[in-house]
Structure 1
């Protein structure tokens, strides 16, 4: 284990000038311990076996020296980074794109399963310098001879222990066998089980072993609260929470740069002082945005993990995890943006049923409980607005006595009342009506966009066994549908299941409220309930299927029901039994 160089800065390292300039623009000053040790070792040509917790800066630890090895004039894959999950692949790719922003000719391609091959193949054929991907998709591309590793200079395995836990060890071995002997190799992992050490011994050449001791965590003083996404969209829940929560400054974490702009735009439309903090901003714009947050011109920032790195604004009282992070360590870094300078803070999580298990990891990591809560319903929000207005009027009455024009206003009011055209009640009701037009005091009852269900498979809300499917019905009855057109079709690799999944997840809509779907080459038609809320429509317009924006819009076309294939009565029974067993394996 090498000795920590606490005084080393990025400028002391032999990094390309374009990279150093970009680091300075991004506000990177002091390397983390894993960066202080790994970057010089990799720049010197050593293979590295790094052991450090997630969230300690490993992406820059291998990414910065990898950029130094790239020759932009060569249109071929020169750096390969393998990650266990799609979310981490996207996060690493975004970080590398940021670091290489001032390096002309250096591109980053992200490849992972569940997305169409077409765009990924196109990016690789153009000769992108860096490829970040998941094991399964990388092997598919290797087998198709689309991904060429002949010119590879650096190969990195990130979060190796997670790949082991997910059963990718054989895939990793297959990928590493295709890496040229001349290529530099680096393996990073939070833990070092025997299987990972064996892998390193087999594929790394006399690696420098770098270990960063885990930082002991004190019990968190930040209150953590979680809401299960159900009954309304996440966007509706977010606006309601912000309306009833007495925050000073709030930081909202989302998954992608596009999400920062979409969520910030919707908040601005709802009257909130919100702004995105994305990787598209240069350093001057970033500093201006943070300065506006401190001064109060902006009260809410919507950001990704990468750009919020190092953000230190003591006035941030609330951190909202609109999207959960790809790893538990990033969660700790997120909530650490609040409760600073001895102040109290609150961290709020939006989670779906399949993400519930992550809450236990957060509790263990922070040594503090996560409490469950409910977002205010329409009636509760109406009462809150009414109370807020009453308190505002009472405060205004007390302040009016000292107002310079208070005597004139009282005289004007007396003249109106003496005219016999308006009573005091009529006048008060008219003013209250105007206020109601601007900000409704009585909200319409919530219209569920997703059916409430118990998380346990095979049980309904009361804990009873589910009724047979024939009694439950596949699609909700008595629904009037409109036909919508989306800009995703067969040429994008889309399937009906992809469309249903995207709509159900993004709009928190039960699939039974999604009607017929018809696929065409460049677009598709889908039936959705009449009277879709505007915020849901906006979310679905930006949602993606196979990495393609849906661009949802009403259509005059009609969905044609696909003809059913003829039934084979002799095979009907066995097929149904087999399908039932398959469903049990998938959902239980």
Structure 2
């Protein structure tokens, strides 16, 4: 087995690695470090998240760096602030015994004057986000004339986030004879375009299989309804008392809302998204790393660069739009040889989205049932018992009280004492889930009626004077509904888009509020008119007749949508993905269906909910 010394690293670096607990190189380090040290050839390197890519590109750079030259010799570009900060910190740790080596991290949201002063003092290695790096170049504070290494970390994500123009601007001011190193966890077509446009005959190395999921990560999915998505999330967390993980959401607003709900429900949780200041982000991450937080709710962008090795779970509250993003998400767990679980919460309509992910990661998802109240209580009870068994007694602090404690408990036998002790912590949890409904039954009932209209008794059908000729589509209609801020909990049902008018369904409890909310509304400069339309029973052919429907609907030219999702067979499997994108691009990121099901008494917030901040539901350090 090779060692870091055999890879050609100097004593100062080896000493730092020993302090950090590095023992043997990972596969990507074994392949990349000697290649970069021995050759000036450009390099494409692919490895799964969490396999040590930062050390793979930074250690050979440190080995070959000229510490006596204060000019910038290496520029490392990262898609996010968090990842840039993490890379900068790692390089500082690797180089702590190397005299004269300065590392500077530059990113938006921090004081640019401080960064300029750091550049003026001399920094051989600069780690930066594309936007701030270009800003400093334009200010002529960051000079890259003498750069020997250009490193693109998480290159696929930089392109996904729209940084191509910034990459071009950085490359324009770097010398032609530099060595370009491209590191990525996935290999989409866009990364190949980077190699063609920015690299000269690069050599390619791969650790493991490209675009595959980590071998020690189990992929599971739970089928839920939109209404039950949040209650299902809570049950999964409760069924895993030692959970220490990240819940991934697709939008900043959804992230903030889910985190707020979890906090109000007593979980040790917080949010990480782009609207937080850098100080707030640093504070959240510090709490998460030191185990003060059990659950971190985050967007894909904000979570890039998280270096937490003991995560037990990654939960996809919503699947990402980009398949590659799932690889990055799941790679947050199962690190350093430990096992991890990646969970996806999906509706029946999203089932088709699992297949492309399975092909990409070369792994199958396992279907799981949403835990029942009985199962949760059992898991929590035995978790408590294990905590008690493993608790060390501090005799110095407790012995003085033991005599009084024994006296107070005199008369209770062993069985009674155990029963009462357990009940102190367990009764609230047991009460919380008593008579809780089976969320899987709710899903199965929806599944049995798949392809049929929702229960009309719970929905009101509305006419709206907009259609395809007004450039209206399901995503824009959902955005228009959300703009009216009818309520935080309204459920959107079937949508039908016709040429000159359309229909949509909303929870009947908000009928009056819907009508009033649309008063004075406009769409593309046109006044909006919304009315309740009476529904009649289905005819033999199964098509619904509406009083406002007109001949257009009877001729069947209108397309039907269930909750905004197309049921037109001609669109095939692409329909769910396209429609989910249209929803997120709406003018409002709020999704009514993202809200917790407050009608579920067994899962909603209540004064007698279990205290998850003490005892049950808290991960022990």
TM-score normalised by structure 1 residue count: 0.48
TM-score normalised by structure 2 residue count: 0.46
